[in-house]
């Protein structure tokens, strides 16, 4: 016995309504992943791409609502700031120091990738001072 695949249902919303909801949430400065979860949980849209033919990120890019710094890079920067704060309070925590070094390394590698892809300006550099300002 084989199961028949059903077409993806998008709750009560059609493709244009889903697109408008994505734009509405984008205007509220929500992350693409968060928008996808909100659409799934509140409106019963299991997959925005299958319902509209475009991903949440593509819709936000069309409307010029993407943040300057990509989500994954920003989350790493937030993590580095909390690790810096922790290391100032706990100067002998060598494990935290190693974790901070690894996080900064990930930030720098990801920045090189985004610069190569054109999502970050070529002059963008990570520094702890600017990271603290970005997170605030």
The per-residue pLDDT string of the chain (136 residues; one tens digit each, 9 = 90 and over) reads 555 544 455 567 888 999 999 999 999 989 899 999 999 999 889 999 998 999 999 999 999 998 889 999 999 999 999 999 999 999 999 999 999 999 999 999 999 999 999 999 999 999 999 898 988 7
Please give the radius of gyration of the chain, using alpha carbons only, rounded to the nearest integer: 19
Query: Which two tokens mark 114?
Result: 């985004």
Same domain? For 91 and 44 the reply is: no
Residues 6+ apart with CB under 8 A from 87: 93, 96, 97, 100
Max intra-chain CA distance, the chain: 63
Q: What is the DSSP letter of 66?
A: S
Q: Are residues 84 and 52 in the same domain?
A: no
Q: How many domains, the chain?
A: 2
Please give the model's pTM, rounded to 2 decimal places: 0.77
The span from the CA of 34 to the CA of 104, in Å, is 25
In this structure, is residue 10 part of a structural domain?
A: no
């Amino acid at each position: 016995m084989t199961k028949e695949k059903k077409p993806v249902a998008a709750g009560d919303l059609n493709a244009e309504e889903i697109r408008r909801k994505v734009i509405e949430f984008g205007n509220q400065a929500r992350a693409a992943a968060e928008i996808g979860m909100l659409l799934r949980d509140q409106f019963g849209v299991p997959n925005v791409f299958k319902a509209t033919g475009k991903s949440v990120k593509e819709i936000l890019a069309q409307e010029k609502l993407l943040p300057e710094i990509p989500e994954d890079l920003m989350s790493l920067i937030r993590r580095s700031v909390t690790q810096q704060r922790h290391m100032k309070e706990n100067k002998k925590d060598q494990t935290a120091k190693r974790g901070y070094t690894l996080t900064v390394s990930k930030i720098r590698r990801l920045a090189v990738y985004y610069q190569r892809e054109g999502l970050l300006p070529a002059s963008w550099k990570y520094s702890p001072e600017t990271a603290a300002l970005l997170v605030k």
